[in-house]
Structure 1
């Protein structure tokens, strides 16, 4: 192996050697602890250390890196305390994730590292978001994301590279091509001659380097970093290397031909660099052994600190509290809970729901200079429903951004913006399209704060619902998918005044919020909307109408259907509760309406099975049984996809069964 030291000093070469040696010796110790049962799992990077160490060495310490599970050299290269890393791997509370995450599934804002999730691909788009934030702030920095050869087959890889190229983002994408995705060799994963060839397809530059040559990695990444900053462009780097251990220790390496193992053993990055330093008389064999012994003693000392840590004593309250980032106190803003102060609605102009949402978004852009809007066709075109029409002129193309059709990458970009201290709003053109970004929402955005205390300051606007004859892919009610996911907040207003106040609250909230907007209500519903910049508290329901005979608990279009029914049947005293927020639910308001009537109908547009109504009905039965005069009845849409034909759609919707369900409840 040929080493070109360029202008590196002797001291620098010795420092690089120590940085390369440290993760190797830690890994050797971890494998012993694994056999002793003192850690539960280990993904070894032995033989690949030069990539992690070299890439980290070439970057500034405040440039974000998104590593994977074989990148120990990134963590040690950022000088993270070893005892705290050991606590992390032991599942101790004093680790980086309070025992909630395994191995390298964590991050540290202090060290500008964002840990992985098991799905691998979503990491890449987070680097896009960080790089976008740095570009907007005119900071001469790059972001770096790692993937493996197997990960390049995932859709997230293609989406992230495409967004970085289209938006001219200074991101360095590192492919660690170690020959296998678990046991699947590369010749069963792709047909291109080399993975770096894919760079041209996205309009970016790329290079293939020897990932086992530490000096080649450092020199290449330094030059690429300078290029990305100077040209404001991304870059793809394929690092050839080999995995000398199993995918994880339990899987072994029996599927690897022995000749291949022997060939790559001769390319060991640490051994070859040691031989080079010996040849240059910068090290002696004695000095090598002394250095190894010094590091081993450091490891043992740090391990002893970790081993003395107290065992975790589960605290249920703490576990629940850490699901969400705390919402900072609001100053200089009107906050509305259940009732509207008279002075806030006096002389308030009548506005359609779509205009109220536009107002809330526009005022939030004025309030938060770090708020970035992203979505398909939201700039010049103004969005599919024209909510952002005029925003481009008011706020410019940097803050109002058209996106490629890649929902997953844009959600990941939104998370990356949050790492860098920005807020973001992503508009799903239709809520139905969220399925192609489901992984980012469920496994990245929702879990981020619980995993390692990092907020995900993202709002996803979700035009939803039926009633417009748009068929099964533009009319679904899919809010229940997300109510099951701790860490998300799910908001669903039914009136213009609530839509504006709740949207502003969602943008002010540091947690990920899915903001559902019923398309059929956009232009059909009007009401007084104050010009003030105000919020309505997330998690608070609203009593729309008082009654004593039955309660209807609903949200969205269901509120208007319930009010319409109550108007048609004034002889029935109906108490109508608008939930407004589906996660977290306002259980106090739910119990109060049950107490007022004793008979409850849970009413929603979503399908019956697995809808939010099932959760509410179960909770009422468990916690309000003594207040009930009849079983809780659910009224929902049919358990079918939503049909296109208007007559079929009307038959599908829950509204078609409202009367019979109310009569059944009254007759009980």
Structure 2
């Protein structure tokens, strides 16, 4: 072992040895419980303890830690409640997720620990958001994000590193290079000599260290924190080795025996024990045994208690209530003036009002600053609100969304703009696996708004015309807003900004500058998830949203000339879905046409059709009909696109319904 840079007392040295020994002793007991079938799985960090303990020891309690599978020592050194920790692994009610997630898939906000998910590297952009909040508020803390060698091939690893470098964020990225990504050796994962070589390419500080020497780790992290706080984020590659399988069931048959022999000599706990004896900080093996007994006494009673703890009890209302946080709408005063606005103006107006009211709003996206966004929604914002709050990002949808999570965890209200809704697929992992599940699992509410210009009819082709709003309906924990009118664009966007839960807003590109309306010069907040009867009628109901409302209005006007009154229900929100308003309309007209811009198969109206059939069957005088765009990509040519879109078949479909 190297000598620590700072002088260390015998008491401090023994305390550090206890910190190393505690996760090892806990793991040894967990492996016994695994064999007894009392826990379902175990990801071992044996042999890697010096990294977790070293990082936790070198950083301060205000610094954030974003661990992965093999960082038990991080939790124990930070002093988390061991009883709750054991309950977490056992799936008990008193665990950090109450049995809703497994092993290390949890965080401890009061300890500044942000938990992992199974999708590797997905939490790394979150560290960027946490670090950005430190800069914006001059809080002087850093965020340290962990990953393994395998995760360095993931896109979010690269997006996180690049963003940290460009924004000069106080972040430390710690790679635990233990030689294998599950069973794949590093020589089959990357071609560079060392992973830290990538730091130079991103403009980061870089260090390669012996991850099995706790003093080396502590010294490196201390230096890295100093660099990070000076605007020099740092990538550390800690060379280490795991002495067990990726998880116990996978075994270690793919690892040559000589590797185990080589790394056994570098075991961080044995090295520390030898150093203690060399320095005469302990008298010998008897004292080391006494220390081990003290460590066991620290956790065994809590483990025994956890083994007898209550299992979680399923209650539907409790589980459902965890999806969203309830809240009171902000106060609003009647506007003294009104003005004519286009759809795009209303969205800009709502954003501007919210940003003027609350400095915690921050917007991120591609070309949104000086350029004002490709649709000019944020034109002039940078002059009014400054570059700290209106932030151009690199082309990193996942990185920007993950950064938004970190900002939201620190109390900011981030707004992330997807340049086109089509590009939201590049951020799908963050939305589906981090954002939507966050509060149900363990996180506090995330006031995160995602804006996405969607829709066809403007000749933009298959990659700039899609309507992906239905993709997100099956993922609880997200609210989905699709306004159709200028007034709704103004008020629903404003309401989404103040909603403490994640909200996706899909803004139709063709509506931006094609519709106008006189609206009050002040936004009115309202609860998200309420449909509206856009037009009263008695002969049939067209249930739709977004651009579909305007298609429906056009055909309803035509039928009204012949005395046929079509009711139009504007859903306005796809999640939560207002089924009560739908049911009232079905009971009134007894015939239903479901109109959507997305393609037929698995579009939003497929779900609504099923719900109407289940809940309103006795009121139906005809089959529920759908009118959708075709099951083909959105074509570029306006002549082809015209026939692709649902309104090309709307009158024909409505006529079939009325004649049934």
The counterpart of 2:572, out of the listed 572, 580, 591, is: 580
CA–CA separation in structure 1 for the residues paired with 2:374 and 2:4: 55
The counterpart of 1:502, out of the listed 471, 492, 514, is: 492
Which deviates further from its counterpart, 96-105 or 453-462?
A: 453-462
Compute the displacement of 1:659 (Å): 0.6
Match of 1:236 in 2: 235
CA–CA separation in structure 2 for the residues paired with 1:580 and 1:367: 25
- SS of match in other structure, 1:199: helix
CA–CA separation in structure 1 for the residues paired with 2:38 and 2:12: 35
CA-to-aligned-CA distance 1:206-229 (integer Å, 9 cap, x gap): 000100000111111112111211
- SS of match in other structure, 2:187: helix
CA-to-aligned-CA distance 1:46-85 (integer Å, 9 cap, x gap): 0000000000111111211110010001111110111110
Cα root mean square deviation, aligned: 1.1
CA-to-aligned-CA distance 1:196-249 (integer Å, 9 cap, x gap): 1100000111000100000111111112111211x2221000000001100000
CA-to-aligned-CA distance 1:495-552 (integer Å, 9 cap, x gap): 1110111111111111111100000000001112211132132000011100000000
- SS of match in other structure, 2:431: helix
Check the 8 A contact 2:169/2:232 in 1, yes or no.
yes
Residue 523 (structure 1) aligned with residue 510 (structure 2): no
Match of 1:262 in 2: 261
Residue 614 (structure 1) aligned with residue 606 (structure 2): yes
Match of 2:138 in 1: 138
CA–CA separation in structure 2 for the residues paired with 1:29 and 1:63: 30
- SS of match in other structure, 1:208: strand
Match of 1:348 in 2: 338
TM-score, normalised relative to structure 2: 0.98
CA–CA separation in structure 1 for the residues paired with 2:54 and 2:603: 51
The counterpart of 1:600, out of the listed 592, 605, 618, is: 592
CA–CA separation in structure 2 for the residues paired with 1:160 and 1:617: 41
Compute the displacement of 1:294 (Å): 1.8
Match of 1:415 in 2: 405
- SS of match in other structure, 1:61: coil
Compute the displacement of 1:5 (Å): 5.4
Give the 5 Å matches for 1:90-129.
Answer: 90-129=90-129
* Structure 2 alignment gaps of length 5 or more: none
CA–CA separation in structure 1 for the residues paired with 2:226 and 2:203: 18
CA–CA separation in structure 1 for the residues paired with 2:124 and 2:538: 55
Match of 1:337 in 2: none
Check the 8 A contact 1:500/1:535 in 2, yes or no.
no
Compute the displacement of 1:297 (Å): 2.4
CA–CA separation in structure 1 for the residues paired with 2:245 and 2:223: 33
Compute the displacement of 1:286 (Å): 1.5
CA-to-aligned-CA distance 1:16-46 (integer Å, 9 cap, x gap): 1111111010000000110011110000000
* Structure 1 alignment gaps of length 5 or more: 335-342
Match of 1:651 in 2: 643
Give the 5 Å matches for 1:133-172.
Answer: 133-172=133-172
CA–CA separation in structure 1 for the residues paired with 2:419 and 2:4: 52
CA–CA separation in structure 2 for the residues paired with 1:107 and 1:396: 33
Give the 5 Å matches for 1:259-658.
Answer: 259-283=258-282, 284-324=284-324, 326-333=325-332, 348-570=338-560, 571-658=563-650
CA-to-aligned-CA distance 1:605-637 (integer Å, 9 cap, x gap): 011110111111110110111111111101100
CA–CA separation in structure 1 for the residues paired with 2:558 and 2:544: 18
Match of 2:39 in 1: 39
Match of 1:338 in 2: none
CA-to-aligned-CA distance 1:421-454 (integer Å, 9 cap, x gap): 1110011000000111100000000000001042
CA–CA separation in structure 2 for the residues paired with 1:226 and 1:601: 63
Check the 8 A contact 2:64/2:141 in 1, yes or no.
no
TM-score, normalised relative to structure 1: 0.97
- SS of match in other structure, 1:520: coil
Compute the displacement of 1:467 (Å): 0.5
Check the 8 A contact 1:246/1:252 in 2, yes or no.
yes
How many residue pairs get aligned? The number is: 657
CA–CA separation in structure 2 for the residues paired with 1:467 and 1:413: 33
Compute the displacement of 1:347 (Å): 5.7
- SS of match in other structure, 1:521: coil
- SS of match in other structure, 1:379: coil
